[in-house]
Amino acid sequence: ILNVEQSPQSLHVQEGDSTNFTCSFPSSNFYALHWYRWETAKSPEALFVMTLNGDEKKKGRISATLNTKEGYSYLYIKGSQPEDSATYLCALDSGGGADGLTFGKGTHLIIQP
Amino acid sequence: NAGVTQTPKFRILKIGQSMTLQCAQDMNHNYMYWYRQDPGMGLKLIYYSVGAGITDKGEVPNGYNVSRSTTEDFPLRLELAAPSQTSVYFCASSYRGGPGQGNYGYTFGSGTRLTVV
């Protein structure tokens, strides 16, 4: 069973501040790394799928980087807004065929006005 | 474009009862998945399917069955409900091409909150 770790578990950030959090995974089992945004009472929504070492992806104020050699990815949010409050999940695709993603437990982000 | 549709949204079952959670997608995705979400835990894979007629077990398959008779539908069956199956269930689908082709994120359904009493 693969171990995908996310930290911190939860995070309170002041509106307007920038923040980041981490996903770590076993680098020997890497095919792709996914990030999802999960708002309360909704379903997870895909943010990024990253496959190459050094990849950097951006969507509005949210960006992510990937280091496959050391097994980590960072998600950054610039100028946090209340609507950014959500749980952010990362998930490892180990490429073992089609056996799904291994999800971390998420970072629960709360933006305080 | 409905995406992934899951029904029902909520259900309470008595121990030993059976039910089917329905999942349908209209995006012509080849891969479909069932996950469960328990408090304090990450999403755990129950079963998955790579195409019509093909299914396989995930990490936590005990107590569940699936079928995939069409590309669109992937129902999850609970035969003898147990309290340990109280959870939130998510169906998801994705398109996976061959080696060197694009890698796409999952589309999730809205979830089914199941309580077994």
A71: which 2 tokens? 């097994």
B40 compared with B26, residue with greater pLDDT: B26
A36, pLDDT greater than 70: yes
- Taking the CA of residue B81 and the nearest CA in chain A, the distance in Å comes to 24
Instruction: Give the model's confidence band at B57: pLDDT under 50 very low, under 70 low, under 90 confident, else very high.
Output: very high
Q: Are the Cβ atoms of B50 and A98 closer than 8 angstroms?
A: yes
Nearest residue, CB atoms, A100 vs list B45, B104, B107: B45
Residue A104: what are its φ and ψ, rounded to 5°?
-80, 175
The single residue listed with the structure tokens 């479909």 is B32
Mean pLDDT of A29-52: 92
Please report the pLDDT score of residue B102 as a whole number. Answer: 60
Cβ atoms A8, A109 nearer than 8 A: no
What is the SS3 assignment for B43? coil
> Cis bond leading into A8, ω under 30°?
yes
User: Phi-psi region for residue A9, left (φ > 0), alpha (ψ -120 to 50) or beta?
Assistant: alpha
Q: Are the Cβ atoms of A102 and B42 closer than 8 angstroms?
A: yes
Strand partners, B107: B93
B2, pLDDT greater than 80: no
Dmax over Cα atoms in chain A, in whole Å? 44
A31, pLDDT greater than 90: no
The single residue listed with the structure tokens 């091409």 is B97
Going by the DSSP 8-state scheme, the letter that residue A27 receives in this structure is G
The answer for B 51-110 residues in CB contact with A (under 8 A) is 56, 58-59, 90, 96, 103-110
Closest to A108 (Cα-Cα) out of A90, A87, A82? A87
CB-based contact, B40 to chain A, within 8 Å: yes
Which residues in chain A are contacts of B108 at CB distance < 8 A?
43-45
B111, pLDDT greater than 60: yes
B99 compared with B47, residue with greater pLDDT: B47
Percent of chain B at pLDDT > 70 equals: 94
Mean pLDDT of B66-91: 96
B84, pLDDT greater than 80: yes
Going by the DSSP 8-state scheme, the letter that residue A101 receives in this structure is P
Going by the DSSP 8-state scheme, the letter that residue B83 receives in this structure is G
